[in-house]
Amino acid sequence: MFVMSVVLLGATVIFFLDQHTKLEVKQDIHSKISDQLSLRYNLLLSKLNDKKKEIRFLHATPPVKGIMRAVSNNGIDPLDGTVEAQWISRLEIIFKGYIENHPDILQLRYIGFADNGKEIVRVERRDEIVSVIDKRCLVV
């Protein structure tokens, strides 16, 4: 009877130790996953903020506003007399250089309000080659 009580007590202790160990492991895994999630979330937010800054930079380049002014004035920028085609060419050069120096960017497009969101400029990377897409190929 005594031996049986000792065995039963030992089994009970082992059972509770096992349960406690499982709980500790679960808590440890949960903590590690939570830490990783937090790190990745912060990294994602940081990258998103970087992309917002890149977009703001590109939006601030002179051709963006120059094209808008020229489109609104029969193809000629009233500010300095630059024609729309010159502004477009300048923006293509800026976009091409930007993509060449940002390997994570695959495509940049400038889409106007006129003609149901017609693409005015598209520059893209295909197989590590950065190209300005011919205006005849742009989506209308």
Provide the mean pLDDT of the chain.
90
Over residues 3-8, mean pLDDT: 76
Does residue 71 contact residue 112 with C-beta atoms inside 8 Å?
A: yes
What are the tokens at 102? Answer: 């940002």
Q: Is the pLDDT of residue 31 over 70?
A: yes
CB atoms within 10 A of CB 121: 25
- What pLDDT does 37 receive? 96
Q: Is the pLDDT of residue 4 over 80?
A: no
- What pLDDT does 137 receive? 63
- What pLDDT does 6 receive? 75
